[in-house]
Amino acid sequence: MATIGLDRLFYAPITEAADGSETYGTPISLAKAISAELSVEVNEATLYADDGVAEAVKEFKSGTLTLGIDDIGTGSANALTGAQIDSNHVLISASENGGVPVAIGFRARKSNGSYKYFWLYRVIFGIPATNLATKGDSITFSTPTIEGTIYRRNKLDGQSKHPWKAEANEGDTGLGATVISGWFTEVYEPDFTPGGTD
């Protein structure tokens, strides 16, 4: 079903263990969402045998998330890009700064009034783009965009795989009510136990 809206944009800090596996912090509101564009890159290999395709493999490699937001704010810019806040509460971006991985969550409203929910498990953002324009005869809003690279997470799920995205459609048969009600209170963890949780 087509989506007609976007809201509830959150990020969750990631703490990495010695083995590289992630633990997610409490989700924090990032900004008011204007747009989210997600593109995916795959690794592809084809094995030919007996004059034909014997095997074909396509696996997630990485993705790009471009967010249009109303304002990034000093605290969020610090958390996402590694820019530092000085003693006068001024955000200082240095060439040595690099983004730290975070999880990104949001939801998209569908045309029937229900929502599609997302968590991207590991995103590293670059420096936000700034678009400015002088005021003319009409008012034009200038808003920042920030682009991040999506990676699979290091932590294995219950099927010994490395997920990169969780997606839930409100109203789907079998989707537990607590999954949706708790979506933005913590980063969703895959659950492959028989019957799942409700």
How many residues are present in the chain?
198
CA 167 to each of CA 58, 81, 108, 175, 194: distance values in angstroms, whole numbers, following the listed order: 20, 25, 11, 11, 19
Inside any domain, residue 1: no
188 in a domain, yes or no? Answer: no
Has residue 191 been placed in a domain? no
Residue 112 lies in a domain: yes
Each residue's pLDDT tens digit in the chain (198 positions)?
Answer: 678 889 999 999 999 988 888 999 999 999 888 888 988 888 888 888 888 888 888 888 889 999 988 888 888 888 888 888 899 989 888 877 778 899 999 999 988 889 999 999 999 998 777 766 667 776 666 687 889 999 999 999 999 999 999 999 998 999 988 999 999 999 999 999 876 655
Q: Is residue 189 part of a domain?
A: no
In a domain, 106, yes or no: yes
- Please tell me the total count of domains within the chain: 1
Name the pTM for this structure. 0.84
Parent domain of 150: 7-46+54-181
The first and second tokens of residue 165, run together, are 């995205």
